[in-house]
Homo-oligomer: A and B are copies of this chain.
Amino acid sequence: MTGVPRLSLNQATVRHLRLDEVAALCVKHEIPAVGVWRDRVAELGLAQAVAAVRAAGLHVSSLCRGGFFTRAGREGRDAALADNRMALTEAAELGADTLVLVCGGLVPGSRDLGLARRMIADAIGELVPAAQRLGVRIGIEALHPMFCADRSVISRLGEAVDLALQFPADAVGVVVDTYNVWWDAQLSADIARAGQRIAGYQMGDWVLPLPADTLLGRGHLGDGVIDFGPISASVRAAGYDGYAEVEIFNADVWDAPADQTAKTVMDRFAALAWGSGSLQPPAPAGSTASSRGLGRAGH
Contacts and interface: CB of A to CB of B under 8 A. Distances in A.
B113 A227 contact: yes
A259 interface: no
B145 A225 contact: no
B294 A110 contact: yes
Interface residues of A, number: 41
B149 A146 contact: no
Given A145-B145, A146-B144, A225-B149, A105 B299 contact: yes
Contacts of A104: 299
Q: What is the copy number of this chain in the assembly?
A: 2
Interface of A: 68, 104-106, 108-113, 117, 144-146, 148-151, 153, 155-156, 159, 182-185, 206, 208, 210, 212, 214, 224-227, 277, 279, 294, 297-299
A297 B149 contact: yes
Closest 7 CB pairs between A and B? A148-B183, A111-B227, A212-B212, A108-B298, A146-B146, A145-B183, A149-B225
Nearest to A207: B149
A106 B148 CA distance: 24
Contacts of A208: 149-150
Contacts of A225: 106, 111, 149
A297 B144 contact: no
Contacts of A227: 111-113
Given A146-B214, A149-B297, A155-B185, 12 more contacts: A68-B299, A108-B298, A109-B279, A109-B297, A111-B226, A111-B279, A111-B294, A149-B206, A149-B208, A150-B208, A151-B299, A210-B214
